Amino acid sequence: MSMQSTPLTPVGRLASTYYAPPTDALQFGGESSKAPREFEQTLDGTETNAGKRRALIVDDAPDVAEMIAMLLQHTGYSVATAFSATDALATAQSARFDIVVSDIGMPGMNGYELAEALRRLPDYEAVPLVAVTGFTMYDDRDRALSSGFDAFLSKPINPTTLLELIDRLCH
């Protein structure tokens, strides 16, 4: 019995180079925020980009998401970005990532809620989640960890610190 290989296209987009996104790319959840073909999964569970580690970057500030994406691409990751937690959740449901780096303070669903939702997905119980946020209140670190994040970094981030943290969490 053969399984049909029909691709499912997630939300998100591939980060490739730094640029100012067109205004239609900032519309969340629409056609403009679909992930590229390399992040599609087929119904039989195979992935078209099986050799590289995959990262999902979530931030409502496109320049921050793009900067983190470029950093991870430079170290060999395939990267998808989402500009809202709801788009990130849809992307995570359609493709499996090895690491998720997310902002906390986003409109609509925030990063805490995203972490809780990701932890409820079968493929994301143990995927490392990193909070990278401008929130620095006394309880933000504890709240991030209790919502499902594995680590917490305050913005502005040190790129070396982020890469060392991701390396530690993924190996």
Q: What is the DSSP letter of 120?
A: H
Asked if the structure places residue 37 within a domain, the reply is no
Residue 29 lies in a domain: no
Q: Is residue 79 part of a domain?
A: yes
Provide the domain limits for residue 150: 7-15+53-170
| CATH number assigned to the domain comprising residue 69 | 3.40.50.2300
- Let me know if residue 78 belongs to a domain: yes
In a domain, 26, yes or no: no
pLDDT above 90: residue 9: no
- Report if pTM > 0.85: no
CA 159 from centroid of its chain's CA atoms: 17
Query: Where residue 118 falls among pLDDT bands split at 50, 70, 90?
Result: very high
Beta-bridge mates of residue 151: 130
How many domains are contained in the chain? 1
What's the rounded mean pLDDT across residues 129-156?
Answer: 90
Q: With a cut of 50, say whether residue 17 has pLDDT above it.
A: no
- Quick one: tokens of 12? 């998100």
Statement: residue 18 has pLDDT above 80: no
Q: Is residue 22 part of a domain?
A: no
Domain assignment present for residue 161? The answer is: yes
- Beta-strand (E) ranges in the chain? 7-8, 13-14, 41-42, 54-58, 78-82, 99-102, 129-133, 151-154
Is the pLDDT at 158 greater than 80? The verdict is: yes
SS3 content of the chain, % helix, strand, coil (to 5): 40, 20, 45
Q: Is residue 125 part of a domain?
A: yes
